[in-house]
Amino acid sequence: MEGHLQADHVHVLLSIPPKYSVAQIVGFIKGKSAIHIARTYIGQRKNFSGMSFWARGYFVSTVGTDEEVVRAYIQMQEKEDKRLEQLTMFHRG
């Protein structure tokens, strides 16, 4: 429903049907995306055993009535990252 990719983590707003657990969906997304990244950017075609791309854990929170607040937070991440990067560059110089 919403997402933002950052250098060291990903924010995603998902709607998961009750028949699936959060762990199933997160595992599926992490597994399929890791395979895609290995194939596309590393040139690995098969035998992915022993490789790890994503960290083992993840953070999950339910949204309920605050969906628009969470969606806005995710959308603002890129602007916030750029603002923090500029502050860091300013303080280094």
CA 22 to chain centre: 14
12 - beta bridge partners?
3
41 classed as catalytic: no
Residues 6+ apart with CB under 8 A from 25: 14, 16
Catalytic residue (choose from 20, 41, 58, 73): 73
| Residue positions annotated with a catalytic role | 73
